Structure 1
Amino acid sequence: MRIAIFGANGATGRILTRRALDAGHSVIAVTRHPEQFHITDPKLTMAGADVRDLTAVTAAVEGTDAVLSTLGVTFTMAPVDTYSVGVANIVSAMRTAGVDRLAVVSSTAIADYPGRTDTPFALRVVQPVISSVFGKTLYADMRRMEDIVADSGLNWTIVRPSGLFDLPDVTEYLAGQRDPVGAFTSRTDLADYLLKLAESPESGATVTISTTVDTPSMWQLLRREAFKSA
């Protein structure tokens, strides 16, 4: 397959790019800062493009079989529109280029999951504050992004991870149209699942992904991840 990855220079995007290349796929790595991207491979093409530039986005997706978005924004109380504007351009570009398969990363924090199990007490305390204060504008834009994707008419999947953290290897994660378990998703698991969705999509579905082993505490996650992008 030929896969375009937006947000390729983010923490999840770099893992996803490497896994896709190792699986034998050709990758278009789309980033505003190609000079900071240090993966090299004969099957890799760098596309220096701002997701707000429709012409550049269209050029990046032409000739691809699937598009994966790992766009991420750090927590801020300022207005955020990167997700919605960026994905709107991706959707428009895909229609122009005749590319149908799209998967985007969102977050479980934008929805309530009454059936969630193994929820840490700290998550119940902290998440309302993050969702309504520190991440209010970010999550509002994620919701706008999800609406754009759901109305796109494409073969789409919205992937909602929980608190992102790093592990070296893929675990036996839980994923699909289900309530999340616990409070965490490793970036390696997320990248693995995104690649599976490019190959065998869950079409028109909003899914979750949960890592249930070797997870940090909520306080460790907040210290390490609060100011990182996806």
Structure 2
Amino acid sequence: MKLVVFGANGPTGRQVTEQAVAEGHTVTAVTRRPDTFPLEDRRLHVVRADVLDPAAVERAVAGQDAVISALGVPYSRDPVTVYSEGITHITQAMTKQGVRRLVCVTSTVLFGVEAPGEGFFFRKVLEPFIVRFPGRTVYDDMRRMEEIVRDCDRDWTVIRPAGLFDTTAVSDYQVADARLPGRFTSRADLANALLRRAVDGGHVRTFIDVRTTEGTPSLLDLLRKEAVGGKK
């Protein structure tokens, strides 16, 4: 299968690319800095493009079977538009090029419900603080992105992971079309969920959660991570 990955040089994008190539797919990895991309393979094509450049996006999308967006930016007090502008260019390019399958990432907080099974401090204090203050501009733009995806005529799936952390292998993770219990999603599991939906075609026109249930970090690790922000 021919796949194009936007945000390919981010932590999740690299995992998606590596897993896809290992499965034998042909991957176009889109990055603004191809000289820093760490992966090489005969089935991998690394291209320089900015998701904010519609012409470059269309060139990357042309001839693909599916599109995976792993776009991510750190928390910022400044307005964020990368998600919404990027997905606008991606969906427009897919329509022009006749590519139907789109899988992309936002966040579990966009389910709009409290974290099930969590204590008072996490549900009422920590998560609302993160959403309203360091993460506000990021989550606002993720919401705009989801509206654009929902309104497009492509075969889309939006994955809403929880707090991201790094592992070396894919686990027996959980998937549901509602918010799942737990605070964390490993990037390996998120990447695998993105890849499976792109290749196998499940959960079309659905928002899904992906949750890691083993080897997860502590609440202190989460606090340290959120203190400095993070990228997908």
Whether TM exceeds 0.5 here: the answer is yes
Task: Specify whether residues 172 and 122 from structure 1 end up closer, same or farther in structure 2 by C-alpha distance, changes over 3 A only.
Answer: farther
Residues 66-92 of structure 1 show CA distances to partners (whole Å, capped at 9, x for unaligned) of 000000010111100000000000000
2:218 counterpart of 1:217: yes
Q: Aligned residue for 1:193?
A: 193
Counterparts of 1:102 and 1:79 in 2: how far apart (Å)? 25
1:122 shift after superposition? 4.7
Counterparts of 1:27 and 1:67 in 2: how far apart (Å)? 10
2:6 counterpart of 1:18: no
Letter in 2 for 1:88: T
- Structure 1 runs of 4+ aligned residues shifted over 3 Å read none
Q: Aligned residue for 1:113?
A: 113
Q: Aligned residue for 1:131?
A: 131
Matched position secondary structure for 1:216: coil
Kept in 2: contact 1:120–1:182 (CA 8 A): no
Kept in 2: contact 1:120–1:218 (CA 8 A): no
Counterparts of 2:139 and 2:205 in 1: how far apart (Å)? 21
Q: Which moved more, 1:63-72 or 1:196-205?
A: 196-205
Letter in 1 for 2:225: R
1:146 shift after superposition? 0.2
Q: Which moved more, 1:213-222 or 1:33-42?
A: 213-222
Report the RMSD for the aligned CA atoms in angstroms.
Answer: 1.3
Letter in 2 for 1:204: R
For structure 2, the 5+ residue unaligned runs are none
2:231 counterpart of 1:229: yes
Matched position secondary structure for 1:196: helix
Q: Aligned residue for 1:75?
A: 75
Residues 170-207 of structure 1 show CA distances to partners (whole Å, capped at 9, x for unaligned) of 11111131322211100000011111001122111010
Q: Percent identity?
A: 44
- TM-score normalised by length of structure 1: 0.96
For structure 1, the 5+ residue unaligned runs are none
